[in-house]
Amino acid sequence: MKISNETKVGVLVAVAIALMILGLNFLKGKKLFSNATTFYGLYQNIQGLQNSNPVLINGMQVGTVYKISPAKDMKTITVEMNITKDITIPSNSVAFIKSNPLGTSSVEITLGNASTFLKNKDTIPTVAHAGLFSEVLTKVDPLLLDVRKAITTIDTLTGNVNSVLDPSAKNNIASMLHNLNKISEALLTTTASLNVLMNHQNGALAQTLKNANSITGNLAANNEKISNITSNLEKTTDKFAQLDIQKTYQTLDSAINHFKVALNQFNNPNGTFGKLMNDPTLYQNLASTGNKLNLLLDDIRLHPKRYINVSVFGKKQKNEPLLIPLPDTLNSPYYIEKATSGN
């Protein structure tokens, strides 16, 4: 049986059409000769997701986006996903759309821990999850707005300052800043000097600390003695506290008053002590008595027999009484003073 050319052409066209359909389905991510599990996800924003974009679990591609169907009011968008891997997905798993800075989006499924699993053509729970680039832009945009406002404010403030300050004020500010720089340099120099001084004094400081430690050790070693001294001081203080201070003070005050009375009597010219101290007549009488006593003593030395006669048959001395003291008596301070004064 001879096949006509028309039949051959028709078969070729049919095969070409079938191959084209298969190729289109393959490009859409649908496995042609395997059973794929279909899930649906409902989103409000698919962030540029397209057909044939990957479906990932833990970073591994397990399927592709097969079809995207928006609602008439565009409030929800249905994403149909074909899972080609032979896996089970818990019913509390969550699917979210993830975009990257290059603009290629994907669907990521975070597996849950439920004991039940999704079946073919079930709807998987979804959450809105912004991509990394979107998150960065969301956080950076307010910051950029604040920076723009700050720059505008600084420009305005700078303009106001320039309009208010005259050249002399600007020169004063420049001079003040120059002085501040000098002060900063001086502080740096002083700090360096202090560091050098501290380095030189490290030995002395260490010795001082060593002495302080030695003193502390001695105090600790003599703690018992110090405690005894403190105890004795407390006992002495208690004894002083038990004394009748008021009575002692009164006795002392009375003694002082009596002493004052005695002094007053001693200084009174009409009293015995006053006359003895202030009356020259009493002094002269005492001096005359002393002179006569000296004459008597000298006479006794020269003529003892005149006063004491121990001889039974002796002859009585007829010497005249002594009228002036002997030379050794004349050399006494009393007669030297009398001779000097001419009395």
Helices 202-221 and 167-200, interaxial angle, to 10°?
A: 60
Task: Report the domain count for the chain.
Answer: 3
**Measuring CA to CA, how many Å separate 17 from each of 14, 102, 122, 271?**
5, 35, 32, 165
> Amino acid identity of 199?
N
63 close to 36: Cβ distance less than 8 angstroms: yes
Question: Quick one: 29 and 45 in the same domain?
Answer: no
- Between 116 and 204, the more confident residue is 116
Domain boundary among 129, 159, 174: 129
Alpha-carbon distance of 282 to 274, in angstroms, equals: 11
Please state the separation of Cα 309 from the chain's center in Å.
110
Question: Quick one: 47 and 22 in the same domain?
Answer: no
118 close to 93: Cβ distance less than 8 angstroms: yes
* pLDDT tens by residue, 284-312: 777 788 888 887 888 777 777 777 765 55
The residues, any chain, with a CB within 8 Å of residue 111's CB and separated by 6 or more, are 57, 58, 89, 90, 93
Alpha-carbon distance of 113 to 298, in angstroms, equals: 148
Domain boundary among 106, 129, 152: 129
What does pTM read for this prediction?
A: 0.35
Q: Which of 301, 290, 289 is nearest to 326 (CA)?
A: 301
What's the pLDDT at 192? 76
Alpha-carbon distance of 131 to 128, in angstroms, equals: 10
Mean pLDDT of 5-25: 79
Question: Quick one: 43 and 67 in the same domain?
Answer: yes
What's the pLDDT at 122? 94
* pLDDT tens by residue, 238-293: 777 766 677 777 888 888 988 888 777 777 767 666 666 677 777 777 778 888 88
In a domain, 271, yes or no: no
In eight-state DSSP terms, residue 310 is -
Alpha-carbon distance of 221 to 227, in angstroms, equals: 11
- Between 32 and 13, the more confident residue is 13
329 close to 302: Cβ distance less than 8 angstroms: no
Question: Quick one: 17 and 50 in the same domain?
Answer: no
* pLDDT tens by residue, 141-162: 566 667 677 777 777 777 766 6
65 close to 84: Cβ distance less than 8 angstroms: no
In a domain, 7, yes or no: yes
Range of 18's domain?
Answer: 1-33
Please name every residue paired with 63 in a beta bridge, in sequence order, or none if there are none. 55, 83
* pLDDT tens by residue, 156-195: 777 766 665 667 766 777 788 888 888 888 888 887 777 7
Question: Quick one: 24 and 85 in the same domain?
Answer: no
In a domain, 175, yes or no: no
48 close to 37: Cβ distance less than 8 angstroms: no
Question: Quick one: 43 and 109 in the same domain?
Answer: yes
> Amino acid identity of 228?
N
